[in-house]
Chain A
C-alpha cells in the first residue's frame, strides 16, 4: 500500500488514473513538456520506490535532482510521521538548493483523512517547503503540484541559484534537437524526483 507517487506521475504525464499499480522497483521514469515563461521545459520525473528495501538505491538518485515532491497519504498518519526521515534523507543526499514540495495525496478520500491539512501546512512552514494537497484519482492539483515545483526551479535558475551549466544540478540546456521546435533557445530540462513515503 503506497502513498500514490506512481499514480500521481501517471496522472501528470498521461492524464489518467490506474488504481492497481505494479510495485515500483528502484526507479521509474516519466517525462512531460510544459511551458513556463514562454519557454518549453521538459520535466524528467524520477519515480522512486517507496519500499524500505530500495532506500539505499533511491538515495543514489537524489543527487542531481533540481526538485522533489515529498508525498504522504492523508488517510494514513504513519506516512506523515515518516516525513522527517525522508526529508533528512533527501536533503542529505541532494543539492542543498533542491526545491522540495510537500504533497498530501488522496485528498479525494476526505472521509478517511487522518492528517489535517493544517498539520501539513505547519510541517511545510517549519521545514521551508511548499505545501499542496492532491488527488491522483481526480487529478485535483496534480498539474499544479508539478508545474509549481518546475516554476520554483525556474525562478531559482533565473536568480542564478542553479548553475545551468553544471549538470549535477539536474538541469540541462536543451540541445534544440527536437524537430518540432528547432529554433527554441532556452529549452531546459528539470530533473525531479517524485520522492515519497510509504
Chain B
C-alpha cells in the first residue's frame, strides 16, 4: 500500500467519524442509515474542494453528489492537480514518514486478514487525517484501483451487520482522539509516532469492541466531545482550514439527510437518485472535457457503485421507516377503539354526533331541577344545623369556656417558648437528656381510648364526685369540681322531676348542660395549669397521671350527659323531629368532648416545664 492509499483512507476516516455520529442520531429510525451515510461520506471524501476553500456545509446529499462531480471535473480541468505518484517535494518528509507507517500498517493489516470485514473497515478508519490540513494540494490521482476496490468493498461491508456499527464508533473515537492530540501540537505533527500508536491501539481495540459493543454509545459521545475540543485547539495551531469543522458540518448534514430520507418516503424524489441521474448524465459526455485519463473512468465507475449503493440503502431506510410508522398507526387505532368500538364515545365527546344537542339540554334541565331540590333541602339542614351550632358555642362562651381556653392556650404557648429558651444553650448530652425528659412527659400524657358504651349517663352525683376525687388524689394542688357536680345534680333532678317537658326542651337542656359542663371543665383545667405553673416542686408523673384521669372522667361524664338526654328523648311519645334532636345532642356531646381533649393537649408543655 502506498502513501496515497493512506491519504484516501484518511479521508474515509473522517467520514467514518461523521457516519458514526449520525448513527447515534438516527438509531431510532434505522441502523442502516448510518451505512448510508458512510457511502455518502465516502463520496464526499473524493471531493478535493474543501481542502482548498473554506469548507462548505454539505447539508444535502444532493449537494454532495454535485460537488463530487464537480471535483471530478476540476481534477480533469486542472493538470496541476494531476500529480503523479511521486509525493510533492515540500511534503516529502511527511509522506516519507507516512510511508514508514504504512509499512507497519500493512503488516498489521495482514495479521488481521482473518478477521471479519469490519476490521478492514476499521483499518481504513485508523489511517490518519494528519496531512489533510497540511497538504494544500490534494492528489486526486492517488486514488488508484486499489483504493477503489477497497472503497467498493467498504460500501458492501457497510451494509452488512449491526455488529460492525457497534465497533466502528469506538474506533472512530480513538482516531479522533489521536487527531486531537495531533492538532494541539503546535509544531505541526509527528505523524509517524502518532500513526504508529493509533494503529496499534486500534488493532487491539478491534477485539475489545467486538466483545463489548455497548461501549460504542459512549464512544460516540466522546467523538463529539473530542470534535469540539479539537476545534478549539485547531484555531491556535494557525492552520487556515480545519478538517474538523468539516466533520461537524457533516454531522449536521447527516441529520438533515435522515429527514430527507423520510421526505422521499412521502413522494419527494430521492436526492441520491437525482444525484445519480445527474452523475450519469455527466458521464454520458465525459469526453468533452476529459479524454486521456482512464483512471477517471474508474473513479466514475466507483462513484456509480457508491451511488447505487446509497440509493439502495436509502430505499431500505424508507421502507423500514414507513413500516414502523404503519405499525404505530395500527397500534394507535387499536388502543383508541378498545372499549369504544367505532369510536362512538370519542366522537360524542368531540361533539361530532348530531343528535347530541337536544339530549344535552334535557340533561341540563333535569340536572338543574335536581340541584335546586338538593339546594333547598341542604339550606334547610344548614339552617337548622347553624342554629344549633350557634346555640352551643354561644352557651359555651356564656359560661366563659372560650376565654378560659384562650387563657390556657396562652399559658401553653408561654411554656413552650420557655422550653425553647431552656433548650437553646444546651448541646450534646445535656440537650439529649432534656429531650428525653420532655419525651417521657409526652408519653405520660397519652389519653386512653374512650369507652363510650360505658357512659350511659345513669351515674349518680356520688359516683361522679368519687371519680373526680380519685383523679386528683395524688395531686398536691387543691382543685374541686363541685360546679360540675352541682350542674349534674340540677340536670338529673330536672330530667327526673320535670313532667311537662317537650322534645325541644330536653334538647335545649342537654345543650346547656353540655356547654356548661365543658366550660367549667376547661375553667378547672385552666386553674390547674396556673396552680401547677406557680408550684415550686413538681412530681410530673403524678401530675400527668392526674390530668389524664381528670380528662378521662370529664369526657366520660360528657358522653354520659349526651346519652342520658338522648335516651330521655327517644322515650318521648311524640316522634316528630326527635331523631334530628337526638343527633344534635350527640353531636354537641362529641363537640364538648373534643374541647376538653384539646385543652388537655395544651397541658403537655406546662407539664414539661415542671419536669425540665
Which of A's residues lie within 8 Å of B, judged by CB? 25-27, 29, 31, 44, 46, 53-54, 56-57, 60-61, 63-64, 177-179
- Known A26-B527, A46-B403; further 6 A-B contacts with Cβ < 8 A: A29-B404, A56-B533, A57-B411, A60-B410, A64-B410, A177-B390
Docked-complex contact A26 and B403, CB < 8 angstroms: no
B507 to chain A, nearest CB (A): 16
Assembled-state Cα–Cα distance A36/B99 (Å): 112
Assembled-state Cα–Cα distance A44/B534 (Å): 25
Docked-complex contact A61 and B410, CB < 8 angstroms: yes
Given contacts A44-B403, A177-B390, A177-B394, contact A25 B410 (CB under 8 A): no
A9 to chain B, nearest CB (A): 13
Docked-complex contact B400 and A29, CB < 8 angstroms: yes
Task: Tell me if B526 counts as interface (CB < 8 A to partner A).
Answer: yes
Given contacts A177-B393, A178-B394, A179-B390, contact A56 B534 (CB under 8 A): yes
Partner of A27, one of B393, B407, B414, B534: B407
A61 contacts across to B, CB distance below 8 A = 407, 410
Task: Tell me if B530 counts as interface (CB < 8 A to partner A).
Answer: yes
9 A-B pairs closest in CB distance: A26-B530, A60-B414, A29-B400, A29-B403, A60-B410, A177-B390, A53-B534, A57-B530, A57-B533
Assembled-state Cα–Cα distance A151/B80 (Å): 112
Residues of chain B from 393 to 445 with CB closer than 8 A to chain A in the complex: 393-394, 400, 403-404, 407, 410-411, 414
Task: Tell me if B531 counts as interface (CB < 8 A to partner A).
Answer: yes
Assembled-state Cα–Cα distance A76/B121 (Å): 115
Residue of A nearest to B526 (CB): A26
Docked-complex contact B530 and A54, CB < 8 angstroms: yes
A63 contacts across to B, CB distance below 8 A = 410
B149 to chain A, nearest CB (A): 92
Docked-complex contact B393 and A60, CB < 8 angstroms: no
B611 to chain A, nearest CB (A): 18
Residue of B nearest to A64 (CB): B410
Main secondary structure of the interface of B (DSSP, over half): helix
B531 contacts across to A, CB distance below 8 A = 25-26
Q: Mark B320-338, 1 if CB is under 8 A from A, else 0.
A: 0000000000000000000
Partner of A54, one of B394, B404, B534: B534
A46 contacts across to B, CB distance below 8 A = 403, 407
A57 contacts across to B, CB distance below 8 A = 411, 530, 533-534
B390 contacts across to A, CB distance below 8 A = 177, 179
B602 to chain A, nearest CB (A): 13
A189 to chain B, nearest CB (A): 10
Q: How many A-B residue pairs have CB under 8 A?
A: 40
A56 contacts across to B, CB distance below 8 A = 533-534
A26 contacts across to B, CB distance below 8 A = 407, 526-527, 530-531
Docked-complex contact B411 and A60, CB < 8 angstroms: yes
Q: List 12 A-B contacts (CB under 8 A).
A: A26-B530, A27-B407, A29-B400, A29-B403, A31-B400, A31-B403, A46-B403, A54-B530, A57-B533, A60-B410, A60-B411, A61-B407
B410 contacts across to A, CB distance below 8 A = 60-61, 63-64
B159 to chain A, nearest CB (A): 80
A191 to chain B, nearest CB (A): 9
B511 to chain A, nearest CB (A): 13
Identify the interface centre among A25, A54, A56: most chain B CB within 10 Å of its CB.
A25
A53 contacts across to B, CB distance below 8 A = 534
Residue of B nearest to A26 (CB): B530
A59 to chain B, nearest CB (A): 8
Assembled-state Cα–Cα distance A34/B531 (Å): 33
B299 to chain A, nearest CB (A): 90
Residue of A nearest to B403 (CB): A29
Assembled-state Cα–Cα distance A73/B436 (Å): 49
A177 to chain B, nearest CB (A): 5
B403 contacts across to A, CB distance below 8 A = 29, 31, 44, 46
B400 contacts across to A, CB distance below 8 A = 29, 31
Residue of B nearest to A179 (CB): B390
B393 contacts across to A, CB distance below 8 A = 177
Q: Mark B522-542, 1 if CB is under 8 A from A, else 0.
A: 000011001101100000000
A115 to chain B, nearest CB (A): 30
Assembled-state Cα–Cα distance A61/B526 (Å): 13
Residue of B nearest to A53 (CB): B534
B527 to chain A, nearest CB (A): 6
Assembled-state Cα–Cα distance A177/B531 (Å): 34
Residue of A nearest to B414 (CB): A60
B389 to chain A, nearest CB (A): 9
Assembled-state Cα–Cα distance A194/B302 (Å): 110
Docked-complex contact B394 and A25, CB < 8 angstroms: no
Assembled-state Cα–Cα distance A177/B389 (Å): 10
Assembled-state Cα–Cα distance A44/B414 (Å): 21
Assembled-state Cα–Cα distance A54/B390 (Å): 35
A32 to chain B, nearest CB (A): 12
Assembled-state Cα–Cα distance A26/B532 (Å): 11
Docked-complex contact B407 and A25, CB < 8 angstroms: no
A27 contacts across to B, CB distance below 8 A = 407, 530
Assembled-state Cα–Cα distance A44/B405 (Å): 14
A93 to chain B, nearest CB (A): 10
Residue of A nearest to B413 (CB): A60
A25 contacts across to B, CB distance below 8 A = 527, 530-531
Assembled-state Cα–Cα distance A61/B411 (Å): 8
A178 contacts across to B, CB distance below 8 A = 394
Assembled-state Cα–Cα distance A103/B533 (Å): 29
Assembled-state Cα–Cα distance A25/B411 (Å): 14
Residues of chain B from 474 to 502 with CB closer than 8 A to chain A in the complex: none
B356 to chain A, nearest CB (A): 48
B504 to chain A, nearest CB (A): 15
Residue of A nearest to B535 (CB): A53
Assembled-state Cα–Cα distance A25/B531 (Å): 8
Assembled-state Cα–Cα distance A29/B393 (Å): 17
Residue of A nearest to B390 (CB): A177
B527 contacts across to A, CB distance below 8 A = 25-26
Residue of A nearest to B398 (CB): A31
A31 contacts across to B, CB distance below 8 A = 400, 403
Assembled-state Cα–Cα distance A27/B403 (Å): 10
Assembled-state Cα–Cα distance A46/B407 (Å): 9
B129 to chain A, nearest CB (A): 77
B484 to chain A, nearest CB (A): 17
B414 contacts across to A, CB distance below 8 A = 60
Identify the interface centre among A29, A46, A61: most chain B CB within 10 Å of its CB.
A29
Identify the interface centre among A56, A177, A178: most chain B CB within 10 Å of its CB.
A177
A54 contacts across to B, CB distance below 8 A = 530, 534
B208 to chain A, nearest CB (A): 75
Identify the interface centre among B403, B414, B526: most chain A CB within 10 Å of its CB.
B403
B407 contacts across to A, CB distance below 8 A = 26-27, 46, 61
Assembled-state Cα–Cα distance A57/B535 (Å): 11
